[in-house]
Amino acid sequence: MSTKEEPGVPQEKKEEEQINLRVANSDGSEVYFKIKKTTPLKKLCDAFCQRQGINPNSVRFLFEGQRINPDRTPKDYNMENEDQLDCAIEQQGGSF
Amino acid sequence: MLTSEYWSTLQRHRLLVDRQMSTFERLFNNFFTSSNNNNQVVNNSNNSPARNPDLPILKRKSLSSSGSEDTIDNIEPEQVVDQQSSPHRRKRNKHYYQPIELHNNLLSNPLVYFTNKKEQITSLFSLGSVAKVLSGYLPNNPLPLIFDSKNQQDDQQQQQSSPPLSRSNNNTNNNNNPYTTPIKRHHHKRHNRENKKPIFKNTFKPTIIDHNNTNNRNNQHHNHQHQQQFQQQQTRESDRLYYSDSINNYYYKHQEQQQQQQPTLPIPTNTIDQSILNSFKSYQQNTMSVNNNNNNNDGDDDDSQQQPVELNDQMKQSSVYKPKSGQSFVDILKKEQQSKEFKESIDQLVESYTESLTLNEDLFSKSLPPPRQQNYLSTSLNNNQTSLNGSQYKPSPRKSISNLSTLQQQPEQSIDRFNSQIGSSHYNPLSIDDLSSSYSSISKSSHSNSDKNNNGLYKSSNLISSLKPINREIESIGDNELFTSKVIEEKKQTRDEEINQLLSKLQAMSGTSSYKILKQIEERREKEKRMKPTARELNDDEQQLYSKIISTTKRGDDKVVCEFDETIKLTGNDVITLKPGGWLNDEVINYYLELLKKRQVDCPDETLKCHFFNTFFYALMTNNKGGYQYQRVRRWTSKVDIFSLDKVVMPIHLGAHWCLAVVNLKEKRFEYYDSLGGDNYTCLGHLKQWLTDEMVDKKKEGVINLSQFTMHIPKDIPHQLNGFDCGVFTCKFADLSSRGLPLNFTQKDITLFRKLMVVECYYKKLSN
């Protein structure tokens, strides 16, 4: 749980530093990722978008309500195993 | 002098006018009934062939040379009822009084007359109100003194059998006067003019004067039976009665009677028409000829005899004298009778329709009707000359009541003119020249006449003594300044009353809840005034920056334009949404929310303690409208204790619309601001549930009593008038709500807000 995983490929067998992160998209479906604590979250985001088939520019990844900087690592956000990332799609509105 | 007449005319006008069109027909029905009653009385007396066939001839003789007679006749407004009842008389009238008959239509057939003159009447309404108000001011109502009230009662019992005392007294005085003949002239002139006024006065008050008297007179002149009765009395009292120059004396007496009966009458010292003087000379000549024809005249001029004298005189005159004296007499009597009938009927009507009268008062307060119409009316009502003179006589418009003096004089003038015209057309046109003479000449002649009177040509001390006080009275009454001042006072009083009423109402309201609400609204308005609109024009630097940013960015540009921090940044694609007409995306709003947060830190005193969730909070909490799921946002508040805050502010994204939801912990309500005016109780319900779960999750149950929370979706907020500004509205709602300010902007301010937001985002600081 406390293992650090490299972004992109979940469940990559590495050292103890890998952690499992859940990424939940806007409709509630979750995707688990194993990622090293020192790996930038950008890899995770890209993997998620690739899997979901969505444009990375149209989604926002949130952790505890805060936007995450893809260049940051889970260590920077003190992410722990089984923590959840939220993937919110872009919002735009003017009227109904 | 004229004031009394004027007042009388005003009274009449009021009466006429106050009857509004709605009640017009009913009123006149009543009027008809009353007039018919009078007609019956008169008819009874007229049924007898009292009229001598000689009368017309005599009358013609007398009239041919007497312009003064003409004036008197013409003065009479209506023929009275006699015309209708007695064809004989009508014939005669047709022959001699044709113009007058036209006028008589007013009384004889008022309904037709007024229907024809509907326009006039309608225009009179305002006038009537004025007259009414004015009448209320008269300290001494110009009403004639109630001389005959007693006599009238007596007369009613002994109708036509006994003449009124006052008349007899006058006669005796006249008879005593040695200067009768010379005096007669002046008197005659004088009275010719004066007679007009007194008659009008009678119309004024229900006081009465001459109804019975008129009947008596008419009967004396027109009823044979009554003549017989009078003759009997004459025989009984023949001892006393007497005077040689019966015609002149009688006429003189009659006029004097008129004068004394109505002491309030103004004495027109200044307004004697020269034409009357001339006409009177001819009249005297005629009378002399008539006297020669009279058989009954005894030479005695005993003055002490009073009642009998008059009776005898009348009786004697009635046979021979009728045509001439009868003309003047009858006319006067008719006038009186008519006026009285008119007055009575109208009084009844007015009493029955006081409501309409009260309504008319308001009209007066609003505006004073043009005096011109007053003039016109006065002439029409008093003289019934409008039908004839209406076209010719059109007084110049007056603009204020202060001109009443001129107005008062005009009716007289018109009367003279009218009389002269009639006289010229039908009779000997002695006075044509005088007729053409202007008003100024009339005044001059009147001056000369008054001088003559003063020189002692007429030395009846009684008359003079009686006249002087009258003059004083009239002067006091007729003071124009007094009128105007009183009118003004009345106006002020009415205004004060209205103001007092309003104040009292306000005071009464002060204790009620509505008053409190009004007060709150007032306070709120003041507060809004205090809080100036947040929109402001960009200064030059800001304008340059804005234009530069907008011009250098385009949709789809990934280049970061504004960077709040490493995660919150705006690309060109985001900033471009702030251009007018663009839909704001989550980046911009979240960026703005970050600015709000920053302001919270920078200026804690200016803002409430708020927490701002970003645009994804609600979307994630509800699983993107899939349902409430607290777990997804459970850790969003891990670093914040929302229960210590005043407000929790979060934008709500509804597919393509931005709204703002606020958990107002301070006022214990869930607020929802939708620039399109929509409701979203589902959202508020989720917020309530979230708050409940939040308490449980944070182990702070009971901190907040959610049962006290209410749903608040205000509708009196700024609304967007297009399809793309809701994001800006939402940002401004959040801005103002976080500061506790009223939402005092409008759609017009949005363009400025957009520009400001660009600048603010660039500077990473809110401008206010």
Q: What is the mean pLDDT of residues B522-538?
A: 70
Alpha-carbon distance B656 to nearest alpha carbon in chain A (angstroms): 4
Structure tokens at B410: 């005009």
Residues of B in contact with A71 (CB under 8 A): 566
Q: Is B676 on the interface with A (CB under 8 A)?
A: yes
CB-nearest partner of B632 from A86, A91, A96? A86
Residues of B in contact with A86 (CB under 8 A): 616, 620, 632
CB contact under 8 A, A95 and B726: yes
Alpha-carbon distance A63 to nearest alpha carbon in chain B (angstroms): 8
Residues 6 or more apart whose CB falls under 8 angstroms from that of A45 comprise A7, A56, A59, A61, A70
Q: What is the mean pLDDT of residues B135-139?
A: 47
- A62-72: pLDDT as tens digits: 888 888 888 98
Domain membership of residue A33 (yes or no) is no
Residues of A in contact with B578 (CB under 8 A): none
Residues of B in contact with A67 (CB under 8 A): 567-568, 590, 614
In whole angstroms, how far apart are CA A75 and each of A37, A85, B113?
5, 14, 109
| Number of domain units in chain B | 1
Q: What is the CATH number of the domain that holds A75?
A: 3.10.20.90
B210, B657, B659, B761: the active-site residue: B657
Least confident of B54-58, B258-262, B342-346, B577-581: B54-58
Domain membership of residue B696 (yes or no) is yes
* Contact status, residue A94 vs residue B584, Cβ threshold 8 Å: yes
**DSSP-derived pairing of the beta strands B669-673 and B710-712:** parallel
pLDDT of residue B651: 93
φ, ψ for residue B126, nearest 5 deg:
-60, -40
Closest CA to B407 of B72, B19, B134: B134
Residues of B in contact with A64 (CB under 8 A): 635-636, 638-639
Query: Is the predicted pLDDT of residue B90 greater than 70, yes or no?
Result: no
Domain membership of residue B713 (yes or no) is yes
Q: What is the mean pLDDT of residues B251-258?
A: 53
Domain membership of residue B347 (yes or no) is no
Mean pLDDT of the residues in chain B: 63
Nearest CA in chain B to A62: B616
Q: Determine whether B641 is an active site residue.
A: no
Domain membership of residue B743 (yes or no) is yes
- B183-234: pLDDT as tens digits: 444 444 444 444 444 444 444 444 444 444 444 444 444 445 555 555 555 5
> Model confidence at B142, in pLDDT bands (50, 70, 90)?
very low
Eight-class DSSP state of B661: E
Residues of B in contact with A89 (CB under 8 A): 624
pLDDT of residue A84: 87
Residues of A in contact with B632 (CB under 8 A): 24, 28, 84, 86
Domain membership of residue A95 (yes or no) is no
Nearest CA in chain B to A27: B623
Domain membership of residue B676 (yes or no) is yes
Alpha-carbon distance A92 to nearest alpha carbon in chain B (angstroms): 4
Domain membership of residue B590 (yes or no) is yes
Domain membership of residue B626 (yes or no) is yes
Q: Which amino acid is at B183?
A: I
Query: Is the predicted pLDDT of residue B629 greater than 80, yes or no?
Result: yes
Domain membership of residue A3 (yes or no) is no
> Model confidence at B558, in pLDDT bands (50, 70, 90)?
confident
Q: Can you give the residue range of the structural domain that contains A79? A: 39-90
* Contact status, residue B659 vs residue B734, Cβ threshold 8 Å: no
What is the residue-wise DSSP string for B453-498?
Answer: HHTTSS--HHHHHHHHHHHHHHHHHH-HHHHHHHHHHHHHHHHHHH
Q: What is the CATH number of the domain that holds B685?
A: 3.40.395.10
Closest CA to B611 of A62, A18, A65: A65
> Model confidence at B647, in pLDDT bands (50, 70, 90)?
very high
Nearest CA in chain B to A95: B657
Domain membership of residue B589 (yes or no) is yes
ipTM topping 0.90: no
Q: Determine whether B674 is an active site residue.
A: yes
Alpha-carbon distance B736 to nearest alpha carbon in chain A (angstroms): 20
More confident residue, B489 or B452: B489
Q: Can you give the residue range of the structural domain that contains B742? A: 539-763
Q: Determine whether B95 is an active site residue.
A: no
B70, B148, B674, B725: the active-site residue: B674
Of these ranges, B75-79, B382-386, B499-503, B512-516, the one predicted with the greatest mean pLDDT is B499-503
More confident residue, B399 or B532: B532
Q: Is B568 on the interface with A (CB under 8 A)?
A: yes
* Residue A47, SS3 per DSSP: helix
CB-nearest partner of A60 from B566, B616, B720? B616
CB contact under 8 A, B657 and A69: no
Domain membership of residue A96 (yes or no) is no
Query: Cα–Cα distance between B195 and B5 in angstroms, integer?
Result: 11
Structure tokens at B733: 């709602």
The percentage of residues in chain B with a pLDDT greater than 70, rounded to a whole number, is 38
Domain membership of residue A86 (yes or no) is yes
Nearest CA in chain B to A87: B620
Burial of B569 (0-12, 13-18, 19+ CB in 10 A): middle
> Model confidence at B711, in pLDDT bands (50, 70, 90)?
very high
Nearest CA in chain B to A69: B567
Polymer length of chain A:
96
More confident residue, B623 or B469: B623
In whole angstroms, how far apart are CA B437 and each of B69, B383, B413, B432?
19, 20, 11, 9
Q: Is B582 on the interface with A (CB under 8 A)?
A: yes
Alpha-carbon distance A17 to nearest alpha carbon in chain B (angstroms): 23
CB contact under 8 A, A93 and B726: yes
The percentage of residues in chain B with a pLDDT greater than 90, rounded to a whole number, is 8
- B660-690: pLDDT as tens digits: 999 999 999 999 999 998 888 989 989 999 9
| Number of domain units in chain A | 1
Query: Cα–Cα distance between B106 and B227 in angstroms, integer?
Result: 30
Q: Max Cα separation, chain B? A: 138
Query: Is the predicted pLDDT of residue B250 greater than 60, yes or no?
Result: no
Nearest CA in chain A to B581: A94
Query: Cα–Cα distance between B483 and B342 in angstroms, integer?
Result: 26
